[in-house]
Structures are given as C-alpha cells and as structure tokens.
Chains A and B, each alone.
Chain A
C-alpha cells in the first residue's frame, strides 16, 4: 500500500520553498541536475524512512527534492546583480 501523505505534502512543501530559489553563477541548471542525483542517492540511503515499506527509498525526501528542482526550473532565474545599484 502506497503512503500518499509524505509524497503529496513533501511535494507541496518543496514547491513552497523551491519557489524562493534563484539560480546564479554558482548554481546553474547543470549543478541543479547533479544536486538532484545526489538527493536521490541520499533518499535511497535513508531507506523507507519513516517506517513505511512501500518503496526502498524515502518518498518524502525524494518528492521534496523533485518539487525543489521543478519549481527551481520554473521560477528560478538568473539574478541581475546590477538592478539594485541602478535603481539607487
């Protein structure tokens, strides 16, 4: 039986926080892919946390990572560091 709770609410929580991310020189789309793979590895190493046995990996962690990446790609934009200086 699949536990939909951590999948759904992990995704929603990830969307809320991921919408605040901004891509910059040190964190572009390529590094986002690397971090996403790293997050999936961490989710696998966590196991079926917390005590669910529907998947071999942590569904809450993985869905939060997927939501962070998706909202990063949708809302993430390169920051214009000169915009504040120009307005001043």
Chain B
C-alpha cells in the first residue's frame, strides 16, 4: 500500500516547522504520521461539501476592546529571563535572508 505521507513530505514539513530530523527519526515519523493519516482516512468517504466548517465551538462575534492604554507592563521580568539581551533588546545571531 502506498503510504499517505512520503519521507520527502515529512522532511519538507519538518523544514517548515524548523525541526531537524535524523535519518532514523525521519523513518520513524514517516510511518507514525502515515498511521494517523490512515486512521483519518475514514473522513474521505464522508460527503460534507454542503456543511459549513466550524472554527469556533461557541458562536461569538464582535468581541472588541476599547482603545485605552493598560497598566505599564514590567518588561524587566521578561528581559531578566530572556536567552540573550543587549541594551534592552533581544539579541540574535546573524540573520540570513529577508522577510
């Protein structure tokens, strides 16, 4: 049987998710993900074209906040436990490529 997800596809989603996988992990994850997708195959037989998708379980709308400044936030508590900080900014190594 053809697997529902290929090794290459798993490698691709790992890259998208910024995860590095060893060759062995790649094999293991491929068969595990394929098993889950196999189980989800029961959905394929369902015709739900005329059913609206639900993104929320409870139908709320227009939840808005008044444009008022809140209390000043204690940024020091974040800076204190941040991985690397310089002059109040978060420091990162070289960035390649641009958004």
Q: Answer yes or no: do A and B interact.
A: no
